[in-house]
Structures are given as structure tokens and as C-alpha cells.
Chain A
Amino acid sequence: MSALTLQNLNLTVDDEIWLDDISLHLEPGGLYTLLGRTGAGKTSLIRAIAGLEDLNGGRIWHGDTCWNGLAPWRRPVAMVYQQFINYPHLSVLDNVAFPLRRAGVGAEEARERARGMIDKVGLSPMAGRRPGELSGGQQQRVAIARALTKDAPVLLLDEPLVNLDYKLREQLREDLVELLAGRRSTIVIYASTEPSEALQMSSRLLLMEEGRVVQEGLPRAVFDAPASIGAARIVNDPPINILSMTLDSDAAEVESLGYFPLDALFGRERLADIGEAGLAPGQYYIGLRASDLQLAPEGRPAEVTLTEVSGSETITHLDMAGCHLVLHERAVVNHRVGSQIHVRPRLSTVFIFDRNGALAHVAHPARGMD
């Protein structure tokens, strides 16, 4: 039951910074999600913990043991790759038993334990087959079973679901949550690009951007108050709208969206808060979630540049006087590309960032008006 402590990890490859001074403390029983875009350093961090990358600086401690200089095969970690990797020459059963056998468990016991794990991931009928004969989802189940079977104290999952189709991903995610539940002694580190996945699964959320951890906290807290414009962009999918805003003493002019009296923007009861938050008149950025824009005849006109309809929702990209906006509707709507629609902000949650992009205030005008 040792915690994993990362101290000032740095990794530079060919003059490119992959990990930039990362310090973290990870407790057993926690499911830590590394959320960030492709290239944010999630995979590098996971590989560094596994010992597959040579760090340029920093230390990794597991309890009292320093992992620096410890070969990957001596570290008590298990890992699932984004690609579906299994041993092609072994049957599913022997694949799952492999790490146990290497750890010195006897053949019979290893097979018995492997059988139990294969049963848990729902692959019992396939135990005798080779991985090459299975579908993608089944192959990843084998890889997950193999990683779980040896009960390593540190479990690294590098976007394990990203190469699966939508339906399979949903299902395997649910199964994964079930498999990981109740592992009080395991530190699970899960890399993901999907905010919804992170919100659903993790106990702690770590936002990564350009090799740094930019925010850490409870998933809901991070989602409700992203520390910066970058963080807000990472946790919002579809993308959040970031617009510049000029605030003066009694009103605000939001780029393209127009002129709002302060009480409309912040809510009457919240106006007092603004002074406390230190919002002096000046230049700001506001963040409006795509779902916080709505169609309204009295709104501002915008031209539709792209629509994506998926299942039961519609994401529409708009051009409003040169300003790019994204509208998220929980219905299937057919906006013709090139046509004009009118939108206005719902003003339920408004993130206000200062000129450096740091969060200055979160306004909930609608709540104040109720």
C-alpha cells in the first residue's frame, strides 16, 4: 500500500520538451485520469512511470523505493496500450497466465488464476484461441485481463479504448469501471482524450497540456471551474467558445455577441461578488460552453459553416462576423451549411478569464434570477 510520488519529472527528446517539471502524489485506491489532447504528454508520463523512457531529471518514488534506474521488468507495474498488443504465439489463456508465470507462479495455479480473470472479462469461450482470431474489442479485453491478473500495485492504462468503435467503447468502459472497482491497493493511471470518460470514471482528474499538469482536482470541481482557458478547452467537448470581452463599470461588450448590462451577464445577486472577485474594468475573455448557446429569433445572426449530427445531438459551427462559435443542441437539427441562424447565450454558466488566460470568475446569472 505505497503511494507513488513523482518529483520534478523532466523529459526532453531531440530538443523537444515532452515532460515539463511534473510533480504528483498518487495514492493507492485512486483512479487518476490524465486528460489532455494528443501530444500533451500523457503517454510520455505513463511510459516514464513504467521505465520505458529515460528521464532527463526528477525522481519517481514508490513508498520508500526509488524507481530511478530500476529496469522496467523490475517495476511492479502493469500496462495496457492504446494498440491491442498480445503475444500472438500464445493462446488467450497462456497470454493472461504469462505475467504470473514470469513472476514465478506455478503452471497450474497461474492457469487457474488466468481462467478466473478471463471469466471476469467475459472471454471464457475464447480461452483456447489465439489473439489473432479475436475481434479488436476481444483482443483489448485479453490485454486488460493480462494487465489485471498479476495484481500490480501500479496499473497504467494508455487510452485503452480509443481504437474501439463507439458502442464497444461504451460497453468496455462500463466493464472496466466494474473490474477496477474495489481495488483499494492499486494506483490506476488512465490516459484519455475524452472529458466524458474522465468525468465518469476517475476519482481525481489531472489536466495535461504541453508536458505539464495544468490542473488537478476532483473531476466535477475541475469541470465546474477550469483554472485557465487551456484547461477549459481540455475539459469541454464539444469545444468551449472563447470570446474576448471589454468590461466597464456597468456593462460588458462581448465580441460578436453584443452588449450586456452587468446584471444580465452576472445575475443581480452576483454583482456584489464581482467586486470581491476583483474584476476591475478592462479586457477579459469569457468562456461559454457550446451547450450554453441557444437558438433565439431575437439573437444575433450567424452563418452555419459545418454541422455534425451524432446520434441524438447536433454540433453546429458558426461564423458570427468573423468570430468562430460552436453550438451544441441535444436534438437532431438540420442546419443547412451557408444558411443563417440566430443565437444568443443562455447565460447559465459564464467563465471569465483574465488577459493571461487564468480563471477570474465563474458567473451563474440564471441561478441568481430564479
Chain B
Amino acid sequence: MKTLYLAIKYLAILVWSCFVVFPFLWALTTSFKTANGVTGGATWIPWLQYEPSMHGWKTLFGGAGGTDITGPYLNSIIVTGSASLISIVLGTLAAYGLSRFTFKAGFVRNGDITFFFISQRIMPPIVLAIPFFLLLRQLGLLDTLAGLVLVYIALLLPIAVWVMVDFFNNVPRQLDEMAWLDGCTPMTTFYRVILPNSVPGLIVAGMFCLIFGWNDFFFAFTLTFTNTQLLPVAIVALNSSVTPWWSLSASALISVAPLILLAFVVERFLSRGGLAGAVR
């Protein structure tokens, strides 16, 4: 009975894995094909079924008359990385304050402030495009990395606050009180006791920020012209009258690569079960 259950379980996982892995396989083979190979039908085995070529990969990095994608790639890393980092730092501090201390400003309470943060994500991004554009033009930050970082912080901060408020609300208050009675001020309580126990929450918030930031096309497209290009825009720009399936596939693979890497690194942290044993 147990063997049967295991067999069914692994079979199901296998089928689902095939389903998920298939697009990657398709992209991988296509990235090594030429125009003839692509139009020659669904073929999988190099040398036997089609003649592999590095053409797609070469054009991606500026060879064979293509445009080099390294610049936008680095831009994307800088913008997503720094915006995520700043959002996590600010968002975690804000979330701790919202979770632990009572704020009153007229009729505004903690819940309202939290909702204000989250409400930034309720609006469709297009509503923000024109204000952001005007704002950045005023500041002289259009088409610059700094401008993009600012806009991305506005985009990612609500996610960080949202995830971390929820996380801190589930951290028992007695832990804070215990730290106070052991001589910690609220600030030392935060970084000596609460932060070391918040690694799982920080990882989840960080993952969300990195994924959202990395994948954003809309603001990367509307707030830049030619100087500062991010990866999603650069990939779309590969398109011309003839769709270059080979270099598109290659670029798709290298654009998801960092996220795949991240998932492998983070997985072991998430499964460790952070707060076990704080309060029984």
C-alpha cells in the first residue's frame, strides 16, 4: 500500500516536472538552432536532428552584428538589487514599528497606515506612470539608474512592509518584553532579538522584492530612453522584422538564471522553521 502510494506520488511529481521543465528544454534547444533549425519542426537532439550553432548566444553578447546585452543585464542587477535592499531595510523597520507601537494621527491608526502602504499596490501601475514620469523629469532623473531605483523602491516597499508586518505580528510580544526586562532598549531589542529570529520573513520579503523588481517591464520601459536600459526592455528590443528565436531563447534563459539560483539557495533557509521554540 505504502509502495503504491509512493509510486503514485513520484509519478505525479514526474509528470508535473516534465510539464514545468518542457519550456526550458524548448528554449535551450532553440537557443542553439539557426533559422533553418527552428523552422524544421520540433527537434530535440543536437547533431542528429539539427545542426547546433552558437549564433544566438553570440549575437546576444554583441557578436555577429547583435547588440550586447551585458549592459542592461548589469543595470537590472544594480536597480533590482539596490531597490530590494533599501526596501527590505526600510520596510522591516516600518513593519516592526507598525506591529509593535501604537500610532495616532487624527483618525489614522496603525491599521490605516499599513493599509496605506499596501494600497500602493492596489492601483494599476499605469495610473502611476505619468506622475512618475513628471516627477522624475522635475528631478532630472529620467533615464538614470538613480531614478529607476527610486521608482522601484516605491514599488517594492509596500511588499516588504506587508510581508514583514504579517511576520512580526506572529512573533510573540513576550519576546520583546522579555528582552526589555533583560535590559534591551526597543532598538537593541529589534536588532539583537527580533531581527535574528526574522530570517524566514526577511527571505520571503526579499524573494518577493527581487522577483517583482527583476520582472518589471512597464516602468523600465516608460521611464527610460536610450542611456539606461534594463534587461526586460533589452530583450524585447531584440525583436525586429524577423523574430530571432535563437537569441530570444538564450536571453530568456539567462534572464531567469539568477532567480533559479536564488530559489536553490533560499530553499534550505525556508525549510529550517525559524521561530520554533520561542514560546510553548
Chain B residues with CB below 8 A from A51, complex form: 180
Kindly specify which of A60-68, A76-84, A275-283, A302-310 makes contact with the partner chain. Answer: A76-84
**Does B184 count as interface, using CB distance less than 8 angstroms?**
yes
Asked if B280 and A50 sit within 8 Å, CB to CB, the answer is no
- Selected from B172, B180, B184, B197, the residue in CB contact (under 8 A) with A85 is B172
Q: How far is the CA of A257 from the CA of B197 in the complex (A)?
A: 61
**Does A146 count as interface, using CB distance less than 8 angstroms?**
yes
Most buried by B among A52, A73, A77, A79: A73
Within 8 A of B (CB), among A214-272: none
A residues lining the B interface (CB < 8 Å) = 50-52, 71-73, 75, 77-79, 81, 83-89, 98-99, 102-103, 130-134, 136, 139, 146, 150, 163
Chain A residues with CB below 8 A from B183, complex form: 73, 99, 102-103, 150
**Does B17 count as interface, using CB distance less than 8 angstroms?**
no
Chain A residues with CB below 8 A from B134, complex form: none
**Does B42 count as interface, using CB distance less than 8 angstroms?**
no
Asked if A85 and B185 sit within 8 Å, CB to CB, the answer is no
Within 8 A of A (CB), among B143-189: 172, 174-175, 177-185, 188
Chain A residues with CB below 8 A from B180, complex form: 51-52, 71-73
Binary A-proximity of B88-104 (CB < 8 A = 1, otherwise 0): 00000000000000000
Q: Top 8 A-B pairs ranked by shortest CB distance? A: A132-B277, A102-B183, A99-B182, A72-B180, A89-B196, A88-B278, A84-B280, A132-B276
Most buried by A among B178, B182, B279: B182
Give min CB distance, A122 to chain B, whole Å. 19
Known: A83-B279, A87-B193, A139-B280. A102 touches B188 (CB 8 A): yes
**Does B275 count as interface, using CB distance less than 8 angstroms?**
yes
Binary A-proximity of B195-212 (CB < 8 A = 1, otherwise 0): 011000000000000000
Chain B residues with CB below 8 A from A52, complex form: 177, 180
* A-B contact list, 20 entries, CB within 8 Å: A51-B180, A71-B185, A73-B183, A73-B185, A79-B181, A81-B178, A83-B174, A85-B174, A85-B279, A87-B178, A88-B197, A88-B275, A102-B182, A102-B188, A103-B183, A132-B277, A132-B278, A139-B277, A150-B183, A163-B280
Q: How large is the interface on B (under 10, 10 to 19, 20 to 34, 35 or more residues)?
A: 20 to 34
Asked if B278 and A86 sit within 8 Å, CB to CB, the answer is yes
Q: How far is the CA of A88 from the CA of B179 in the complex (A)?
A: 12
Instruction: Specify the chain B residue showing the minimal Cβ separation from A104.
Output: B183
Report the number of A-B residue pairs with Cβ-Cβ less than 8 Å. Answer: 75
Most buried by B among A78, A98, A103: A98
Chain A residues with CB below 8 A from B279, complex form: 83-85
Given contacts A88-B197, A99-B182, A132-B276, 14 further A-B contacts (CB under 8 A): A50-B177, A52-B180, A81-B178, A85-B175, A85-B279, A87-B175, A87-B278, A89-B197, A102-B183, A102-B184, A130-B277, A132-B278, A139-B277, A163-B280
Chain A residues with CB below 8 A from B197, complex form: 87-89
Asked if A85 and B178 sit within 8 Å, CB to CB, the answer is yes
Give min CB distance, B206 to chain A, whole Å. 18
Give min CB distance, B190 to chain A, whole Å. 13
Asked if A136 and B177 sit within 8 Å, CB to CB, the answer is no
Q: How far is the CA of A139 from the CA of B276 in the complex (A)?
A: 13
Q: How far is the CA of A73 from the CA of B180 in the complex (A)?
A: 5
Known: A84-B279, A85-B278, A88-B276. A79 touches B184 (CB 8 A): no
Q: How far is the CA of A79 from the CA of B175 in the complex (A)?
A: 12
Instruction: Specify the chain B residue showing the minimal Cβ separation from A50.
Output: B181
Chain A residues with CB below 8 A from B278, complex form: 85-88, 131-132
Chain A residues with CB below 8 A from B196, complex form: 89
